Amino acid sequence: MELEEFADEFGPEYVVEVYDKKIGLNGILIIDSTSLGPGKGGIRMTPTVDVAEVFRLARTMTWKCALAELPFGGAKAGIKASPEDIKNKVRKKVLIQAFSRALKPLVPKLYIAGPDVNTGEQEMQWFFEANGDWRACTGKPANVCMNLFGKKGEKCGIPHEYGSTGFGVAHATVVAAKHIGLDINGATVAIEGFGNVGTFASSYLDDFGAKIVAVSDSRGVAYNEKGLDVKKLVKVKERAGSVVNYKSAKLLRNKEIFELPVDVLIPAALPDVITKENMDKIKARIVVEAGNIPTTPEIEAILHKRGVLVVPDFVANAGGVISSYAEYRGQNPKRMFELVEKKIKKNVKLVLDRAGKEDVKPRDAALRIAQERVRK
């Protein structure tokens, strides 16, 4: 994909490629839009990351930040790294910090980094240390405080391990259920992916009274139509490494989670999991896209015509970037959770109400709102 293939009225504003032959650094930064503020988006480290992938993710961040009413634009970054580089802590630190130093003229004035695939709180600490500015990134360790706001002993770094994305997904699900007249108390839920997002989404939905009947990870699906004990399930995952070791459940193949007779289906892991092959087998009344691009807009349109309510990814999973904003402002985790709940509830309702009013699918309504805000 060449630059002219995806450039439009919204961006991208900056396409930066960083090379350091001496250490083998090959990095990409795309700042799609700064109309609402500095570009916000994580850094991923994979062997295959390229400009086209980073652009698509940066554009999604533009819409996500606009819809969440944050003073951030959209951006994303990537570092090409071999599996060996990703596993080697010393090597990884060298690449992260070299990338950070190279981007110093742009960070944090035009770009604020964050965690993404194969990066987390440790990598964010390395990044901001190399930059020298606390605001260079979000997702830092909880014990990192900035002198301006942080009090001694107070936790104000907010790593993804706090589960802000899953927390937001749970609240998005509650709003969507209310929208179609479904009582969340007792509503059946299947969650594809039991990583950081899926684990927290299941825990919070369980607290709200929903019945989690199926969860999956890379090894299979644990299913019990009477409901799973989520607290016990989390312990099994931690101890045995997979949900398939949960004894009070039927073991299914991964693809079968999309075919279960549930009220709510939450794809929370891999992209492109709802396909032409399985879309007609979906029985859920609501699909909440906790993971990024779990399907295509075309398939969403087909589900919409069938009466399935689909809450788009950049609406449902915005809890992470809202958390980033709270950290950027120097707020503590308690204030962060309050902000995520308030914004997710408000914006999911706004999108679903507008979709109903204009008789369009929720993604179209969300895009219209986000584009209006960016243009303004």
- Asked if residue 310 lies in contact with residue 293, where contact means CB atoms within 8 angstroms, the answer is no
Please say if 76 is a catalytic residue: yes
| C-alpha angle 161-289-47 in degrees, rounded to nearest 5 | 65
Cα distances (Å, whole numbers) of residue 89 to 188, 197, 330:
42, 25, 28
Residue with tokens 């790593």, as numbered in its chain: 159
Cα distances (Å, whole numbers) of residue 326 to 154, 222, 316, 320:
15, 35, 18, 10
- Token pair recorded at residue 251: 């073991």
> For the chain, how are helix, strand and coil distributed in percent, rounded to 5?
45, 20, 35
Distance (Å, whole) CA 138 – CA 144: 11
Cα distances (Å, whole numbers) of residue 117 to 42, 86, 121, 359, 368:
8, 10, 12, 36, 29
Catalytic one of 76, 140, 211, 237: 76
Helix (H) or strand (E) holding 357: helix 333-358
Catalytic positions, written as ranges: 76
